[in-house]
A = this chain, B = another copy of it.
């Protein structure tokens, strides 16, 4: 597997720095550490190993089949995961934003089942397997958070596996993106940083169908499209379309420690 693009893991000197920076992390609000107690945070910080920069779109984090020695938390940017079938066709499995965890699906099988590359310049937190397991065994709360996130991811991919119309899929996608990337609330525009082709592939539609559906939504006044930015004007109507798909919001309020 091509590893040349992959930044070397930080030396020992970096670890302390990384461990100290959770409070400065731009993704802290949506990371699984959000709201955990100080002692749990300590466990987590000790598990984190350093940051991995992916300086440009298209840079690979790992390839499918690589030995899975770590999971990664997105700090900034957007990562897409995908597989390649025997026909050589790419199949986008998901998009991952700050706070999302990548590589969990490899915990059972030792190798990443899907490749991961940057959609835009990104930065990730590297959490070595052994360190993760250590932190989880010492902190039931972190374990619980992880399980919640895993089941949420599963539900999302399961929802997409149904057969839904293009309008249903696109509406669900836009709302899901809104929900997962919003920071300032419901009114902020959504940035679809990935290409239309990747969106279409993910939703199992043709690129043109995604375009046309977005255009139709715009004509109906449900949203406004400008390049990769989408402003939602009528979330209720979009939700009416998206409802049958099931899962729109992936980021529910995280329960505080009991």
Contacts and interface: CB of A to CB of B under 8 A. Distances in A.
Interface of A: 85-87, 91, 108-109, 147, 151, 157, 160-163, 204, 243-244, 246
A91 B246 contact: no
A157 B160 CA distance: 13
Majority secondary structure of chain A interface residues (helix, strand, loop or mixed) = loop
Given A86-B243, A157-B161, A161-B161, 13 more contacts: A85-B162, A85-B244, A85-B246, A86-B244, A86-B246, A87-B244, A91-B162, A108-B147, A108-B151, A109-B151, A160-B161, A162-B204, A163-B204
A25 B157 CA distance: 37
Q: How many copies of this chain?
A: 2
16 contacts: A85-B162, A85-B244, A85-B246, A86-B243, A86-B244, A86-B246, A87-B244, A91-B162, A108-B147, A108-B151, A109-B151, A157-B161, A160-B161, A161-B161, A162-B204, A163-B204
Q: Which 10 residue pairs across A and B have the least CB separation, nearest first?
A: A161-B161, A163-B204, A87-B244, A85-B246, A109-B151, A91-B162, A86-B246, A85-B244, A162-B204, A108-B147
A157 B162 CA distance: 11
A167 to B, nearest CB: 16
A84 B147 CA distance: 24
A87 B162 CA distance: 13
A166 to B, nearest CB: 12
A109 B155 CA distance: 13
Contacts of A157: 161
A240 to B, nearest CB: 13
Nearest to A105: B154
Nearest to A83: B158
Contacts of A91: 162
Contacts of A151: 108-109
Contacts of A204: 162-163
Contacts of A109: 151
Contacts of A243: 86
A240 B18 CA distance: 52
Contacts of A108: 147, 151
Contacts of A163: 204
A87 B246 CA distance: 10
